[in-house]
Structure 1
Amino acid sequence: MTTAHLSHFIASLEDSALAPWASLAPWQLTTQSESIVRQMLQSLDASQFRIDGEVALHRTALIEQGVTLKGPLIIGPGVFVGAHAYFRGGCWITEGCSIGPGCELKSSFLFAQARLAHFNFVGDTIVGRDVNLEAGSIVCNHRNERDDKTVRVRIDGKLVSTGVNKFGAVLGDGCRVGANAVIAPGALLAPGTIIARTALRDDELDAARLASALDPVAMRNA
Structure 2
Amino acid sequence: MISIFHFIKDFPFPDLNENNLPWEIINRLEDILDKKSKNLHDDYIITGSCAIHKTAVVEQNVVFKGRVIVEADAFIGANAYVRGPVYIGKQVKIGPGSEVKQSIICSETAVAHFNYIGNSIIGSRVNFEAGSICANHYNERKDKEISVLFNAEVIKTGTHKFGSLVGDDSKIGANAVLSPGTILSGNSIVKRLELVEQIQ
Name the TM-score class by shorter chain. Answer: over 0.9
Q: Secondary structure at the match of 2:149?
A: strand
| Paired residue total | 199
1:202-222 deviations in Å (ceiling 9; x for gaps): 1112xxxxxxxxxxxxxxxxx
**1:43 is the counterpart of 2:39:** yes
Letter in 2 for 1:120: N
Question: How far apart are residue 22 of structure 1 and its match?
Answer: 3.5
List aligned pairs for 1:25-104, cutoff 5 A.
Answer: 25-45=21-41, 47-104=42-99
Name the amino acid aligned to 2:87: W
Q: Offset of 1:147 from its aligned partner?
A: 1.6
**Structure 1 gaps, min length 5:** 206-222
TM-score between the two structures when normalised by the length of structure 2: 0.97
The structure with the larger Rg is: 1
Distance (whole Å) between structure 1 residues aligned to residue 29 and residue 81 of structure 2: 17
Calculate the TM-score normalised by the size of structure 1: 0.88
**Matched residue type, 2:9:** A
Partner residue in 2 for 1:4: 2
Query: Are residues 1:21 and 2:16 paired?
Result: yes
RMSD between aligned alpha carbons?
0.8
Alignment of 1:132-143 (within 5 A): 132-143=127-138
Gaps of 5+ in 2: none
Matched with 1:115 is 110
1:104-142 per-position Cα deviation (integer Å, ceiling 9, x unaligned): 011100111011011000001000000000000000000
Distance of 2:148 and 2:75 partners within structure 1:
32
Q: Which amino acid aligns with 1:28?
A: E
Could you tell me how far apart the structure 1 residues matched to 2:141 and 2:66 are?
31
Q: More strand by proportion, 1 or 2?
A: 2
Corresponding residue number in structure 2 for 1:217? none
Specify which structure has the higher proportion of helix: 1
Using the TM superposition, give the Cα deviation of residue 34 of structure 1 relative to its aligned residue in structure 2, in angstroms: 1.3
User: CA separation in 2, counterparts of 1:155 and 1:84?
Assistant: 36
CA positional deviation for 1:145: 1.2
Distance, in Å, in 2 between the alignment partners of 1:195 and 1:155 is: 17
Match of 2:32, SS? helix
Which residues of 2 match residues 202-213 of structure 1 at below 5 A?
202-205=197-200
Moved over 4 A (4+): none
Residue 39 of structure 1 and its aligned partner are, at CA, apart by: 1.1
Distance 2:133 2:180 in 1: 10
